[in-house]
Amino acid sequence: MVKLTVNGVERALDNVDPSTPLLWVLRDTLGLVGTKFGCGIAQCGACTVHLDGQPARACSVPVGSIGTQAVTTIEGLGTESKLHALQQAWIDHDVPQCGYCQAGQLMSAAALLKDKPAPTDADIDTAMAGNLCRCGTYIRIRQAIHSVAKGGVA
C-alpha cells in the first residue's frame, strides 16, 4: 500500500506498484486529470505538480518515492469559486490557446512566485523553460506572471 497526501487529503492506495509514476496515479487511480501527459520523459512540463511546494514532473516521479511530501496538483491550486491569482491572471490575459500545457505552466509559475515574488523577465524565462507550449502562448504567460507579481495590475 502506498500512502500519499494530495491537495491536503491523505490517500491510501491499494494495488498500486510503488514504481508507478505519480502522473498515472493522479490521472487513472485518483481521477485528477488536470495534470497532463505529454512526453513521459520530463521534457515538456505538462505534468508539473508541486512536491512540498517545489515543481516536479509527475511523469518521472515514482509514487513510492514521494513519502510524506505533500503533492499539490492544478486542482489544488485553486477552484472556479476560489481561483489562485495566477489562474485569474491567465483568464484576464486570455492565455490559453489549446490549453493542454497550461496546468503545468501554472504550477511552474506558482512555484516561481513563491520563491521570487517579483521576478524579472530572465527569472521567468529560466523558471518556465521546462514547460513547452506548442501553441506559442509564451508572451501572454510572461505578461500574466508579471501582472500577479505586480499585485494584479496587468
Partner 1 sequence: MNFIPADRYIADLMAEFDYAMDSQKASARTEPSRRSILKFGVAGAGLMLAFQLPTDAKAAPAAKGSKEFAPNVYVRVAPDGAIVIVSKGPEIGQGLKTAFPMIIAEELDANWDDIKVEQAMINQKLYGTQGAGGSTSIPLNWDLLRKAGATARAMLVSAAAQQWKVPASECVTDASVVTHTPTKRTLKYGELANLAATQPIPDEKTLKLKPRAEYKLIGTRKGGVDNVKVVTGEPLFGIDVVLPDMVYAAYEKCPATGGKAVSFNEAQIKAMPGIKDAFIVDGNGIVTEVMSGVAIIADSTWNAFKAKNALRVVWDESTASKDSWTGSRAKAHELLKKTPEKFPEKNGDVDATLKTAAKVVESSYEYAFVSHQPLEPQNCTAWFRGDEIEMWAPTQQPTRGQLAVAKMLGLPEEKVLVHQTRCGGGFGRRLMDDYMSEVAAIATRVKGPVKLTWTREDDFKHDFLRAGGFHQMTAGLDANGKLIAWRNHNVTYTADNKAPVAGSMRAGEFPVLLMANAENGQTMMPLVVPCGPWRAPGSNVTAFANQSFFHELSVAAGRDHVEFLLEVLGERRHLAPQTSGALNTGRAADVIKAAAERIGWGKAQPKGRGLGLAFFFCHAGHFAAAADVSVDANKRITIHKVAVVGDIGPIVNMSGSEAQCQGAVTDAVSTMMDLKIGFENGRVRESNLHEYPIVRMDKAPMNIEVHFIQSENSPTGVGEPALPPIAPAFANAIFAATGERVRQMPFSAQGFSI
Write out the residues near partner 1 by the rule CB under 8 A: 17, 20-21, 24, 27-29, 31-41, 43-44, 46, 73-75, 77-80, 83, 87, 90-92, 94-103, 106, 121, 124-126, 128-142
- For partner 1, the closer of residues 40 and 64 by Cβ is 40
Q: How far is the CB of 93 from partner 1 (least distance, A)?
A: 8
Q: Which is nearer to partner 1, 10 or 80 (CB)?
A: 80
Least separation in angstroms between CB 14 and partner 1 = 13
Q: How far apart are CA 111 and CA 55, in angstroms?
A: 6
Alpha-carbon distance 72 to 54, whole Å? 9
54 or 79: CB nearest partner 1: 79
In eight-state DSSP terms, residue 51 is E
CB of 24 to partner 1, least distance (A): 4
Q: CB within 8 A of 16, min separation 6: which ones?
A: 1, 2, 25, 29, 63
Name the one residue in this structure whose C-alpha cell is 512540463.
Answer: 45
- Diameter of the chain by CA atoms? 48
Nearer to partner 1, 70 or 123 (CB): 123
Determine the Cα angle at 110 with ends 116 and 9, to 5°: 130
Tell me how far, at minimum, the Cβ of 69 lies from partner 1, in Å: 20
